[in-house]
Structure 1
Amino acid sequence: MTTVPQREDRSGGLLVFLVVTFAVTWAIWMPILLQAQGPGLDAMPWTFFLASVGPLCGAVAASLWEGGARGLGAWARRAFSVRFRPVWWIAAIGMPVAYFLIAWITAALVAGAWPDPALFGVTDKLPGLAWPLVALVWVTTFGLGEESGWRGWLLPALTRRMSAFWAALVVAGVWIVWHLPAFFFNPTYTQMGAGVIGWMLALVCGSFLLAWMTVGAGGSIVPVLIWHAGFDLLTAADQSAGVIASTVSGIVMTQGVLCAWLLWRRRTVARTPALVGG
C-alpha cells in the first residue's frame, strides 16, 4: 500500500496576503476614485462597502497558499471560534456602549442639548437605513471583511516572527496604507485636513487595543468584529462628525496606549502561543 506524503506548508503567505488584500480592495475602489475626480459622487456606491472584503480574500488566499484546505480550515476554526472567556463578550459589547454614553453626554455638555436620537448611527453612505440595519452592514462588511484579515490572519502570521507588540504596530502600518485610495473620494477622509495625523495615531492605538483583545480571546476575531462594527456605527454616523467622533477616538487612543504597554511587557516572549498555528 502506497502512502501519499502529506503536503508541507509553503512559505510566502505574507506576500500572498498583502498582494491579494490590496489588489481586491484597490481594484474595487479605483472606479469610485475616478468618478469622484470627474463628475463627482451623488452618493457612495455599494461597491465602497464591497471593497472591505479585501483583507478577507487575502486571509483565505494566504491560508490556502500556506496549508491548502487544511490550512484554510485551521484558520477558520481559530478566527471564528466562540470558545473564549465570557469577559470578551462583555468587552466587545460593553466598550461600544460605554463609548456611546460618554460621547453623548460630552456632546450634550458642549452643545447644550442632547443629540437627536433619531439620527443615531444614520449615515448618508447608507441612505434610508435605520441604525440596526446600518450596524448589520458595518459588521458584515468592514467588521468581517477587515478583521478576518488584519487580526484574523496578519496578526497571527506576524507573531510567528515577532512579539504581539511589534506585530500590532506592523498591522497598523499596513492598515493605514490600505485606506489610501479612500482619501481621494470618501468625505470622512477628504475633509480631515491636518486631522489625518490624529486619525493615524487613533488607528495605531486601535491596533494595539484590538491585538490585545485578539490575544485575550485566544486568536478569535469574534470580539473584535463586534467591537469594530460598534465603533464604525458610532463614529461614521453623520451627526458624529466633530464632538462624538473625537470623543470616541480619544477614549480608544487612551485604551490603546494602555494595551500597548501591556503588550510591551510581554514582548520578550518570542511568540504569542494563542495566535500561532492558525
Structure 2
Amino acid sequence: MQRPVSGAHASGSNSSSGAARRGGLSVFLLIAFVVTWMIWLPILVQARTSGLAAMPPTFFLASVGPLCGAIAAALWEGGPRELARWARRTFATGFAPVWWLAGIGMPLAYLAVGWASAFLVTGVWPDPAGLGLTGKLPGLAWPVVAVVWVLTFGVGEEAGWRGWLLPALSRKISVFWSSLIVAGVWISWHLPAFFFNPTYTAMGPGIIGWMLALVCGSFLLAWMTAGAGWSILPVLLWHAGFDLLTAADMSAGVIASVISAIVMIQGVLCAWLLWRRRHAL
C-alpha cells in the first residue's frame, strides 16, 4: 500500500504552485457554498411552506457547488494552465491498482455485511429488487441511480473536497489536520439540507452521529486520495457506492447504520495512520 505523505509535498503540485495567486481558498469556499445554497434555497422555501411532494432534480444539481469552487479557485490561482494541471492530477489514472480495488471493493463489502446484518436482525434477506432504489429518484433502476450518484454527489463533491480543498490545505499543514478541516467545511456545506431533506430531518439528535460518521469518512477518503497520488477516482467510486447503498429506501435502519458504523471504524484507523505520519516528508 502506497504511503501517503503530509505537509508541503502532499498536494502533488508542481514548482509553479509557489507563485500561485493568493486567495484561492476564499474563492473556493465562496463559490462552493453560494452555488449549492442558491440552488437549494428554493427547495428549502417550498419545503417549509407548502411541503415537498418529491425531491426536485435541482437537489442533485446543487452537488456541483464544490466542483465549481475547485474550477474557480484553480482559474483564480493560475488561469487555464493551473486548471488543466488540477484536472490532470485530480482525474489521473496512473495510481496503483489496489486503489481501484479499494474504491469498488469497499462498497461491495459494505453491501455484503449490511445485508447479512439485516438478515440476522429481521430473519429475512433484503429484497434484491430494492437495491439502490430511492424515492428521491423514482422509477430509476439501480444502475441508473448509481450513475446519478457518480455524476452528482460523486464528481460534484469529490472534485472539490478531495480534489482541490484537501491538497490545497495539505501544502501547509498535515493531511491529518487537513482532513479535519475538510470535514468541518463538508458538514457546514450541508446546512440548508438539514431543513428540507427527509434523510436529515428524520434523524433528530441522531444528526450528531451523522456528523461523527462524516468526520470519520473524511479521514478514510483522505487516506485513499493521498494513497492514489491525489487522484479522486477511487474516492469518487467509493462515494457513489456508499450513497447508492445508504440512501436507498430499503437501507433505512439496519443496513445504513451498519455501513456507517463500519466507515466510522475505518475512519478512526485512517485517522490514527495519518496522525502517525503527519510529519512525514
Report the TM-score range of the alignment, normalised by the length of the smaller protein.
over 0.9
**SS of equivalent to 1:42:** coil
Deviations 1:130-185 (A, max 9, x none): 00000000000000000000000000000011000000000000000000000110
Shift of 1:9: 2.1
Q: Which amino acid aligns with 2:22?
A: S
Answering whether residue 244 of structure 2 is matched by residue 233 of structure 1, we say yes
Q: Secondary structure at the match of 1:23?
A: helix
User: What is the aligned-residue identity percentage?
Assistant: 72
Unaligned runs of 5+ in 2: 1-15
1:155 aligns with 2:166: yes
Q: How far apart, in 2, do the equivalents of 1:268 and 1:140 lie?
A: 35
TM-score by length of 2: 0.93
**Aligned counterpart for 1:53 among listed residues 58, 61, 64:** 64
> How many Å separate the matches in 1 of 2:136 and 2:167?
32
For residues 25-64 of structure 1, the aligned pairs below 5 Å read: 25-64=36-75
Instruction: Give the aligned residue type for 1:67.
Output: G
Q: 1:82 aligns with which of 63, 69, 93?
A: 93
Q: Distance in 1 between matches of 2:269 and 2:81?
A: 37
Give, in whole Å, the separation in 1 of the partners of 2:173 and 2:238: 25
User: In structure 1, what is the Cα distance between the partners aligned to 2:104 and 2:20?
Assistant: 37
* 1:170 aligned residue (158, 161, 181): 181
In 1: Cα distance, 2:186 partner to 2:20 partner: 26
Q: In the alignment, which of 201, 217, 222 is matched to residue 190 of structure 1?
A: 201
Determine if the alignment matches structure 1 residue 71 to structure 2 residue 82.
yes
Distance 1:39 1:181 in 2: 17
Paired position in structure 1 for 2:128: 117
Once the two structures are TM-superposed, the CA of residue 116 in structure 1 deviates from its matched residue by: 1.1
Alignment of 1:15-34 (within 5 A): 15-34=26-45
Runs of 4+ aligned residues of structure 1 deviating over 4 Å after TM superposition are none
Separation of aligned partners in 2, 1:190 and 1:83 = 41
Give the deviation of 1:268 after TM superposition: 1.5
In the aligned structure 2, how far is the partner of 1:180 from the partner of 1:197? Answer: 13
Partner residue of 1:96? Answer: 107
Unaligned runs of 5+ in 1: 1-5, 272-278
Corresponding residue number in structure 1 for 2:116: 105
Output one character per residue of 1:52-78: Cα deviation in whole Å (capped at 9) or x when no partner: 000000000000000111110110000
Aligned Cα root-mean-square deviation (Å): 1.1
Determine the C-alpha separation between the residues in 2 that align with 1:268 and 1:122: 44
Structure 2 residue corresponding to 1:13, chosen from 14, 24, 32: 24
